[in-house]
Structure 1
Amino acid sequence: MKPHYLTSLFSPRAVAVVGASDTPGSIGQAVFASLLAGNFQGKLFPVNLNHKVVGGMRAVPSVRLIEDEVELAVVTTALRSLPAILRDCGKKGVKAVLLAKEFADSEQLEREILKESLSIARHFGIRVLGPNVLGLMRPVAGFNASNYSSKVRPGNLALVSQSSALCTAMLDWADSKGIGFSSVISVGEGLDVDFGEILDYLVADTFTQGILLHVHHIHDARRFISALRAAARTKPVVVIKSGRYEDDVTGLTHSSNLVESADVFDAVLSRAGVLRVGSISQLFTAAKVLAASFRVQGRRLAIVTNGIGPGVLAADSAYLNGVELAKLSEQTMELLNDALPRNWSHGNPVDIIGDASPVRFRTAVKTCLDDANVDGVLVIFTPQAGTDHLTTAQLMVGLQRESTKPILLSWLGDAKVSESRELFSKAKCAHFRAPEYAVEVFRNLASYHHNQRLLLQTPGPLEGKQISPDVTRARALINAALAEGRVILSERESKEVLSAFNIPVNPTRLARDPDEAVRLAEETGYPVVLKIDSPDIIYKSDVGGVELNISSAAALREAFAAIVERCRQARPEAAISGVSVQPMRSRRFAREVMVGVTHDNAFGPVITFGAGGIAVEVMNDRALALPPLNHYLVESLIGKTRIGQILGPFKNLPAIDIDQLKEVLLRVSEMVCELPEIREMDINPLLADEQGVMALDARIIVQKGNAGGKPYRHMAIMPYPSHMVVCSRLKDQTQVTIRPVRPEDAQMQQEFVRNLSEESRYNRYMSSIKQLSQSMLVRFTQLDYDREMALAMTRETAQGEEQLAVARYVTDPDNESCEFALEVADQWQGKGIGFILMSALFDAARDQGLKVMRGEVLSGNKGMLKLMHKLGFASEYHPEDRALMLVTKVLQA
């Protein structure tokens, strides 16, 4: 793949500093001095209108007068000069510009100049980072184009921050802790280059092993989450968010009014497989622990201590942080009873008594680590008479090397245990001055593991369906309302949309007068419920628009008139269609829950679940998830709520039909995937008991969709493209399936590679590998269908699904071209597989809007070259002795 288009910005070979100066205190002087002091190995050119020499180097008045090529221009001059500078840079062929000055002009004038400057930059194809940035640093390359004068250590963490002030605070804190960086990137206002593109660059950066992100606001949410997911698949990503309570989600339904923008952002980060933290210290601590490859499989923590007081305090901290104290197995308890003094605590925390020897510590910790009910162990050492802190520390270091579970170490005290702390630091063990910090880190590790599980979920838009929804009928109902100029569907219309997606609803029929209401009630059967039917009244109870448990015609007529009168007095402007008649549903063991949809301006549709009924606003018990959902994601969503804890057997209540509840959530996920017109929705209450579920009330808010757009463009996360699954036959009549690759195909993909001949493996991977590494498996099977595609051709065998071939493309960073690869099992070559599979890949690339595909074919493989030409590829000219032939295809709509 060709170099990333931002290479000129982040790894330039020639840099011009516009406004470079010798004037003390100026930005130009600070940036130029930083570049000189950083021992930058590329070419450096000062540009200054008034001085011919800057920093002992010859200066020129314009970038255009520099004789050599220039990749990056760092601008430190006043804003008014920016348009002219960018024109000069464009004519010189500069690829990137860094705006390293905080502009102080009036806001209106500033915006006009910035707009003009961006237009000029786009005309010349220049990428711009900033404005209002601290600068850009690549400590691993000695490149420091910033006004930060303090020391920044080289390391393997990348720091990307939207705030210059917070960035400097992070750097100062990191230096005091001995933390180094591969890159430090200050984004500023993100006029042009934003988080998504920066993350794409860092994913491929071999110097970066972990990414720290400070975010205030997002410009391009789709690009951001796509890049974030790509990064999280291969490197730990830790995020700190400022402005938590700004830009709250607003809307007409409870689902929207109970949601804050920070909740949506948390849901985004969880689904992206990254970890969110709340402070700078947590940011770096979490990054260090994750980068050291500490992992957990759950939230169950065992605490081993030689002081019950610190152990109990740690247990209290675990409770406050949502960390579960592990319940030790009977076998573990027996082993501990045999090995420990009689007066040990006989539970978790495991108090092994104050005079604990190093061997006693090791025995207790090792026994807890071996327990299947334990996901990690916190070891708290208190220096007491007869204890040996250093030997104990050495045994813990050795034990960590033997175990795949994390051991979190907290040696209390200061001078007495300093030698042990130095040992832990050298051995890269997770150690903390206070047990509370260790508990927080364990919680973060557990959250990270949970989020990584969410990252692997790639549901289809209609996953789990048993009966196909009537999408056409639902869309017709929505379009009819929009044609009338309405965005609020009545309860009756809303329930019809739900019914189209096979969600059980309480039947609702409209009565325009009392006589019709009586007739409908008799057909339905008493008792019944009356509700006002008006597209303008969302909360019917607030205006007296609901009457329950009506059991006679006389009571019905009286209630009908009363409802209409109350609503006209409360909302005289509301259009009233009549009164709806519904059966009165009263189930003895039912729980009331709410399922909703809200719309975030940045990330699109969000599904909410929580307690329902009239207490929804008071309890504020809800959880959020980004669609599309599958069974794992639905279970996770329900488990986050308090109401979710009483859906099973609870006191005298039998368990609800949980499968039916999950099915409703999956159906709602289908709805928001297939109907981009849905902006908000409430199903409240959704009645759930042992007999099933039923929507008693519903309301849907819609908006006009974008006709003719790409499928699912309204989604923050692309669903599995199930519409691309097709069946076909080979020349020998073998029935095969062509489908996009999924994460669960990892083992099948590994077997496919193992069964290739050595020659085929070498030609494909340019290596004599026998099988794919874990990182390669992740890369090949966990796809972001918005930017890449892999189509597998499979057949069913007695042993299960077998992969015969796979074709894939990966888009270049420019999102206009891509590189493809085709692999066919040796025994299946010559059966027409290549033509079928590559044709399907072309269609996918065209749908994605790509313009060019290119790949390399062995020049000696005449059959493959013939196939490429048959498919419309053109061979680029190369010397005949070249081992590889480069072929390209222009994709046209």
Structure 2
Amino acid sequence: MTVRNLDALFRPKSVAVIGASERPGSTGAMVWARVLEGGFGGPLWPVNPKYETLGEHVVFGDAGDLPQAPSVALICTPPATWPAIIHKLGGLGTRAAIIVGEARSDDDRLALRHALSAARPHLLRIVGPGSLGVVSPALRAHLGAPSCTVKAGGVAWVSQSNALTNAVLGWAQARGLGFSHAVALGDEADVDAGDVLDYLASDPGTRAILLELDSVRAARKFMSAARAAARNKPVLALRSGRADPIDALYTAAFRRAGMVRVDALDDLLDEVETLGVGRVAAGGAATLITSDRGLATLACDAFAAAGGMLAPWPDEASDALQQVLPHAVGGNPLQLGDDARPEHFGAALKLLAEHRSTGTAFVVHASTHGAPVAEVAHALIGSQRFAYRGLLACFFGGLDAATRDALHAQGIPVHTTPQRLARAFARLVDYRLGRELLMQTPEGLPARIPDAIDAAQAQACAALAAGEHEWKGEAAARFLGRFGLEVEAQAESGVESAGHAAAAQTPTQRALKASTTTSTADCAEDSAGSSAKPVVDIAIELHDDDNFGPVFRFTAPSADGVSEALRVYGLPPLNPVLARDIVTRSHYARLAAPEPALTALTALSQAVCDVKEIVALALTLRVYHDHVTVVDPVLSLAAKRSRLAIVPYPRRFEETLDWQGLRVTVRPIRPEDEAAHHDFVEAMTPEDLRLRFFGAVGSFDHSQLARMTQIDYDREMALIATVTSGEGFVRTLGVVRAVSDPDNETAEFAVAVRSDQKGRRLGQLLMERIIRYARVRGVHWLVGEALRENGAMIALAKRCGFTIMRTEDPGVVGFRMALEETAG
């Protein structure tokens, strides 16, 4: 399932409590009391055959007796009753239910399966069982049994733990903090973390998402949803169990999705303050403002421990400081002096506003006779507008609740120690860097001739047909050679000298042994110019994880015997940018040219992505100063393996054809198409751009072009038509897009053609292919819009078979086409 009908959970218009009760200590009593105490303003219907009224509310004896379908039903009854209740609610038209009780026994789990079956025909979504509930404070909707009522805020909390959710809600309440939504997922029988992330990614009331989990149920859906969310807003994740053998895999998954992993609950809670209250732009640099030299030293230590983010102090700022605050000590930290007054803090903020390189403003202060913390806080409120990259504060000794709430109302987060403030900001910087990694344009992938890929696939199929399930030696070398990888014969290597015993070792064992035979001195000699000795052996393994599917594990020994060995995971597909993110974490990275290793890792990833019969591999990547080789590859083959958690480039949609005297290739867009896409947009006239984007459009910056070219193939497709000049320059002539909703019910299309190619039916050629793609994907409806004055687009839509429709905007027309489902 997906986000379908989740709006009923997060924006309910009416609520039914099945099993509402007044019996002290019962689940029904707790849930009913919390809904009432929260103050939900819509219709509220209790259901219980044992009562006629509960307070002022008339009680209905059965769910089927309700006057109309509630948006959401809270089910507080025993498991045996769930199937019949869900069946009745679905028949009424209810779209969501929260099962508060738990499924403990086999009979309970059987009842749950029947309830899910009853919900499916009605598309009724179920949270739980065993869910504390869903809270949407802006609507005063406390749907479940949270420990307290919740204040509205800008951060969403999503957790697999009821106890932790209750603790966090109580912690926030005591500090005057709130949430946009709080979700306790329970057992995730239907609605899971991926579904909720997908919904919150586009929720305008949610500025950031805090996620606590110990496992992921549907990795592909989760990764797709997390990547979409992280492109729009910070997503921070806490996973307990560092000793778990697969914990490093979760670290890799979170990083690949653009999420920031935090190590402790305290860190996650600090972000309720920083992200839920503040409007902070984490540019990576900050200026510290304080009065006392001792406080300045403490704060500087905290920032150094968090990554050293204090901005360099510009000379012109020092000159201005002498005019405004002659007794202050310039530099970073800015020390206002023991005799600082509250207004001096405001003056410092105004001064820094003229020097934007000073970054985000941090005020660390302990109360003095001349500058009580409450007065300083109000001075910050009055000058907050000058902090163009945001303002964070730390007041030793705390604040009274009224002053704290006043700071919160102006978007100023308050932390209790410099350490917490510095770590909170560091995580914002981590998010920005992770998001930039998502948005970076990879270097061009190594050219792979389609014939070579076809040959590799044929080799795998032929091997399986012949009963071969493992490749070593020549067969493995021939296969890897098709992807540009050089296999080194073990006998030619100078690293191992233990004959047959060495050959019997695993790649990991060989890598560890290399740490004793390839010393740091040898590495230094190699980096000075010798290519005879390897820098390091990296053990690379691919295994099929039960949840994330095929994943790589990279292991390299310690470079000096003191630092930690490299043990990281990587999720295919990899490109050079993602490979660099892995390679640069090794202490050996500075001892060898990175490009050969990046190319090899990308090639291995492509081999795994293009040849689905490869279910496992183990090899050593031997890194020399200026090249790499593969040693002792072993590849395992099978007819079937798990799906990749991240959808790779879909080569099956590539097509080359003769069109209008040109040899045109139509294919999915790739990240490395950014430069060509920039030229494509630049070649369009201002009028064509206005018709395409429904308004005047200037130039597109890198982040906008990256969004156009770096797409998630699991939910979006962009097909481009390209031609290649005799000099090898690729030019984009047109593009058509289709973006599916998370339910795969509807896809919205858009098409654009270079202005100098209009009138040649290129738009129709692209539209025919995106319609075919949508049918293969199983989309039910293809829809689009155009300005009413865009006659060419309207004519194209009619030729392609779309129905032309009115929209709410009289200047815009809509297009709609029903698609038949076909197997893809």
Fold-level match, TM-score > 0.5? Answer: yes
Identity, % of aligned positions: 28
The whole-number CA distance in structure 2 between the counterparts of 1:482 and 1:534 is 29
- The structure that has the greater radius of gyration is 1
Label 1:469 to 1:864 Cα distance change in 2 as closer, same or farther (>3 A).
closer
Match of 1:694 among 617, 629, 638: 629
1:566-621 C-alpha deviation (Å, 9 max, x unpaired): xxxxxxxxxxxxxxxxxxxx956642141524443322333444534999999432
> Which digits, 9 at most, give the CA deviation of each residue in 1:407-437, with x for residues without a partner?
543343457x999867644432344221111
Given that 2:691 and 2:786 are in contact with CA atoms closer than 8 Å, whether structure 1 keeps it comes out as: no
Q: How far 1:221 sits from its partner (Å)? A: 0.9
Kept after mapping to 2: 8 A contact 1:610/1:622: yes
- What are the superposed Cα offsets for residues 779-798 of structure 1, whole Å, 9 maximum, x if unpaired? 76653221122345578999
CA distance in 2, matches of 1:320, 1:269: 23
Displacement after TM superposition at 1:816 (Å): 3.8
Query: Residues 501 and 856 from structure 1, CA distance in 2 versus in 1: closer, same or farther, beyond 3 angstroms?
Result: closer
Instruction: Verify the 8 A CA contact 1:790 1:809 in the aligned structure 2.
Output: yes
| Matched residue, 1:788 | 716
What is the aligned-residue RMSD (CA, Å)?
4.9
Tell me the distance in 2 between the aligned counterparts of 1:41 and 1:330. Answer: 55
**Which residue matches 1:706?**
640
Instruction: Sort the Cα spacing of 1:62 and 1:399 in 2 relative to 1 into closer, same or farther, 3 A.
Output: closer
User: How far has the Cα of 1:231 moved from its partner?
Assistant: 1.6
- Structure-1 residue corresponding to 2:588: 643
Aligned residues: 800
Aligned: 1:61 with 2:66: no
For 1:501, give the aligned amino acid.
Answer: F
Cross-structure match for 2:526? none
- The aligned counterpart of 1:605 is 550
Give the Cα–Cα distance (whole angstroms) in 2 for the partners of residues 384 and 145 of structure 1: 46
- In 2, Cα distance between equivalents of 1:344 and 1:891: 73
Instruction: Give 1:836's aligned amino acid.
Output: L
Answer yes or no: is the 8 Å Cα contact 2:753–2:762 preserved in 1.
Answer: yes
Q: Return the alpha-carbon distance in structure 2 between the equivalents of residues 540 and 244 of structure 1.
A: 22
- Counterparts of 2:314 and 2:486 in 1: how far apart (Å)? 46
Asked whether the equivalents of residues 459 and 629 of structure 1 are also in contact (C-alpha less than 8 Å), the reply is: no
The code of the aligned residue for 2:538 comes to M
Give, in whole Å, the separation in 1 of the partners of 2:45 and 2:198. Answer: 29
Per the alignment, residue 592 of structure 1 pairs with: 536
Report if aligned partners of 1:99, 1:133 keep a CA contact under 8 Å in 2.
yes
TM-score, length-normalised on structure 2? Answer: 0.81
1:760 alignment partner, one of 683, 686, 691: 691
The equivalent position to 1:502 in structure 2, one of 469, 481, 484, is 484
Relative to 1, partners in 2 of residues 1:817 and 1:616: Cα closer, same or farther, differing over 3 Å? farther
Query: Which residue, out of 189, 193, 196, partners 2:194?
Result: 196
Counterpart-to-counterpart distance in 1, 2:351 and 2:241: 45
- Residue 88 of structure 2: aligned partner: 88
* Alpha-carbon shift at residue 172 of structure 1 (Å): 0.8
Q: Which residue of 2 aligns with 1:209?
A: 207
Q: Is the 8 A contact 2:349 2:387 kept in 1?
A: no
Pick the aligned partner of 1:671 from 603, 607, 611: 607
Classify 1:866/1:333 alpha carbon distance in 2 versus 1 (closer, same or farther; 3 Å): closer
- Kindly provide the CA deviation profile for residues 282-324 of structure 1, in whole angstroms up to 9, marking residues without a partner as x: 22432443453423344x6665555444444444444444x03
Counterpart for residue 52 of structure 2: 52
1:190 Cα shift? 0.5
Q: Secondary structure at the match of 2:487?
A: coil
What secondary structure sits across from 2:232 in the alignment?
coil
Give the superposition deviation at 1:444. 0.6
Contact 2:496 2:502 in 1 (8 A): no
Q: In structure 1, how many angstroms separate the alpha carbons of the residues matched to 2:724 and 2:358? A: 40
How many angstroms apart in 2 are the aligned matches of 1:541 and 1:638?
Answer: 20
Q: Write out per-residue CA displacement over residues 550-575 of structure 1, whole angstroms, 9 at most, x where no aligned residue.
A: xxxxxxxxxxxxxxxxxxxxxxxxxx
Instruction: Supply the distance in 2 between the matched residues of 1:309 and 1:878 (Cα, whole angstroms).
Output: 64
Cα separation, 2, equivalents of 1:622 and 1:52: 64
Runs of at least 5 residues in structure 1 that lack an aligned partner in the other structure? 249-260, 510-523, 550-585, 648-655, 708-712
Q: How does 1:428-827 map to 2 (within 5 A)?
A: 428-457=411-440, 463-465=445-447, 470-472=452-454, 474-475=456-457, 489-490=471-472, 494-508=476-490, 531-532=499-500, 538=506, 590-599=534-543, 600-609=545-554, 611-612=556-557, 619-644=564-589, 646-647=590-591, 656-684=592-620, 686-689=622-625, 691-695=626-630, 697-706=631-640, 714-721=643-650, 724=653, 739-740=668-669, 744=674, 755-756=686-687, 760=691, 765=694, 783-792=711-720, 806-823=735-752
Aligned equivalents of 2:234 and 2:311: distance in 1? 30
Instruction: Specify the code of the residue in structure 1 equivalent to 2:257.
Output: A
User: Per-residue deviation at 1:26?
Assistant: 1.8
Counterpart residue identity of residue 706, structure 1: K
Q: Displacement, 1:883?
A: 7.6
SS in 1 for 2:112: helix
8 Å Cα contact 2:3-2:198 kept in structure 1 = no
1:671-707 deviations in Å (ceiling 9; x for gaps): 3322344444444362322x42333x34445352438
| Separation (CA, whole Å) in 2 of partners of 1:525 and 1:280 | 49
- The 3-state SS of whatever aligns with 1:819 is strand
- Say if 1:624 and 1:326 are closer, same or farther in 2 by CA, change over 3 A: farther
What is aligned with 2:34?
A: 34
- Change in 2 beyond 3 A, CA 1:642/1:418: farther
Structure 1 residue 501: Cα displacement? 2.3
Listed as ranges, the gaps of 5+ residues in structure 2 are 518-529
- Give the whole-Å Cα distance in 2 for the aligned partners of 1:311 and 1:491: 63
How far 1:160 sits from its partner (Å)? Answer: 1.9
Amino acid in structure 2 at the alignment position of 1:441? A
User: Which range is displaced more, 824-833 or 499-508?
Assistant: 824-833
**Counterpart of 2:281?**
295
- Do the aligned partners of residues 836 and 190 (structure 1) sit closer, same or farther apart at CA in structure 2, a change above 3 Å counting? same
Distance 2:240 2:500 in 1: 44
Contact 1:50 1:61 in 2 (8 A): yes
**Residues 1:266 and 2:251 aligned together:** yes
Structure 1: how far apart are the matches of 2:296 and 2:752? Answer: 57
Most deviating of 175-184 and 752-761: 752-761
Contact 2:3-2:196 at 8 Å conserved across structures: no
Which residue of structure 2 aligns with residue 555 of structure 1? none
The equivalent residue for 1:230 is: 228
* Contact 1:630–1:666 under 8 Å retained in 2: yes
Q: Is the 8 A contact 1:137 1:185 kept in 2?
A: yes
Q: Matches of 1:15 and 1:627 in 2, distance apart?
A: 44
Shift in alpha-carbon separation, 1:402–1:782, aligned structure 2, 3 A: farther
Residue 156 of structure 2: SS of its match in structure 1? strand
Say if 2:308 is the partner of 1:324: yes
CA contact (8 A) 1:857 1:887 kept: no
Aligned residue for 2:747, secondary structure, equals strand
Quote how far apart the aligned CAs of 1:835 are: 0.7
Give the Å deviation of 1:131: 0.1
Whether the 8 Å CA contact 2:158–2:210 is kept in 1: the answer is yes
Q: Quick one: distance in 2 between partners of 1:345 and 1:7?
A: 54
In structure 2, distance between residues paired with 1:381 and 1:236: 28
Which residue does the alignment assign to 1:76?
76
